[in-house]
Amino acid sequence: MSIQSDALQGPQSKAPTKRALQWAALIAMLYLLLVSVSMIGSGFKWAAGDHAKELFEFASNPVAGLMIGIIGTALIQSSSTVTSIIVGLVAGGLPVELAIPMVMGANVGTTVTNTLVSLGHARCKDEFRRAFTCATVHDFFNLIAVAIFLPLEMMTGFLAKISAWLVSPLMHADDLSMKSFNFIKPITKPVVNGAKSVFEALPGSFGGIALVIFGILLVIAAITVMGKLMKRLMVGRAREVLNSAIGRGPIHGIASGTLVTILVQSSSTTTSLVVPLVGTNVLTVRKVYPFMLGANIGTCITALLAATAVTGDNAVFALQIALVHLTFNVLGIVVIYGLPFLRDLPVKCAETLADYAVKSKLTVVGYLATVFVLLPGLVLLVS
């Protein structure tokens, strides 16, 4: 009996330890994210000096900046990663005005993940139609948001003005480094300084470039591991939340999507979760639509966290670009979902594309290649 009870208690006793280790690893990855964003800002300052604007002349065209955000996010498969990198670049001197289209592009690029997930239902036409429609609703919503707000931003600069107003109390503070708000610097600065000392042996600005690249690699690694850990820790619960929360109304759906995305630190994970549920007809596209919009808000938490790692004269601007991301996504929901004549447009576009995709899988290839590769590449080439 004692042997059997020991055998039964063995796995159970290991479970809390394993979970504690996973939480510890998650905290370590969050710390690594904050350190790596600081490295990007420091490296960018080091490499660019007083000429940060000149280095980004290729992105002075807002459309080119948009395409950079799309391609970068489609390649890295994480808008959280790209927006964290953008926060780091702004901390290093990239003007907020040039960074805004890149943030918008990151919103579009992240939607490729759930589109790829829908291909898992390709063997059944009805399942594939539903799954592909669900996946591309997010795509079309973000594309429509960019089509509305990028021209407005180019004409009026409204996102830059709103975000500047939000951070204006900090602009008038005696300490622009935000030390009073930043509890991260004391634990990140030694690591960043240590990394800088490693690259100081490189000639000229190459040390700064190397530090930026190293910081970007660390951001990618940290967010990738964070995503996997959060899946193990939260996805089981998230599935229960999805089944109980979705369908109680748009506000509840948006709030649930926001919360789940904050928990898993990835809008791609959140939106990919519901694609199989719609494909298997457990949920409908219209029911998960608000939930997917909430994912757009929830994903902003990573950039806001990254901004807390920034100190110095550009700390306020790093926070400003993080708030641009949040403002853009909130206004997108208010305008597109709030206006009845625009609300169903993403769904109708997705349904039409899904009908063509069911007839020929080449439609899927053409769509992905055009939106995420060919069009952005052509615009950048022309720019």
Map tokens 């970068």 to a residue: 72
Q: Which of 71-75, 239-243, 265-269 has the highest mean pLDDT?
A: 71-75
- pLDDT: is 355 or 31 the higher one? 355
Confidence of residue 50 (pLDDT cuts 50, 70, 90): low
% of the chain with per-residue pLDDT over 90 = 19
Flag whether pLDDT at 10 surpasses 70: no
Look at the chain and count its residues.
Answer: 383
Question: What's the per-residue H, E or C state across the chain?
Answer: CHHHHHHHHHHHHHHHHHHHHHHHHHHHHHHHHHHHHHHHHHHHHHHHCCCHHHHCHHHCCHHHHHHHHHHHHHHHCCHHHHHHHHHHHHHCCCCHHHHHHHHHHHHHHCCHHHHHHHHHHCCCHHHHHHHHHHHHHHHHHHHHHHHHHHHHHHHHCHHHHHHHHHHHHHHCCCCCCCCCCCCCHHHHHHHHHHHHHHHCCCCCCHHHHHHHHHHHHHHHHHHHHHHHHHHHHHHHHHHHHHHHHCCCCHHHHHHHHHHHHHHHCCHHHHHHHHHHHHHCCCCCHHHHHHHHHHHHHHCHHHHHHHHCCCCCCCHHHHHHHHHHHHHHHHHHHHHHHCCHHHHCHHHHHHHHHHHHHHHCCHHHHHHHHHHHHHHHHHHHHHC
**What does the domain layout of the chain look like in residue ranges?**
28-382
Map tokens 């004549």 to a residue: 341
Map tokens 């899946």 to a residue: 231
Residue-wise pLDDT tens digits, 298-335: 888 878 877 777 766 677 888 889 899 999 999 999 99
pLDDT for position 283: 80
Residue-wise pLDDT tens digits, 130-188: 989 998 999 899 999 999 999 999 999 999 999 889 887 765 544 444 444 445 566 77
- pLDDT: is 13 or 156 the higher one? 156
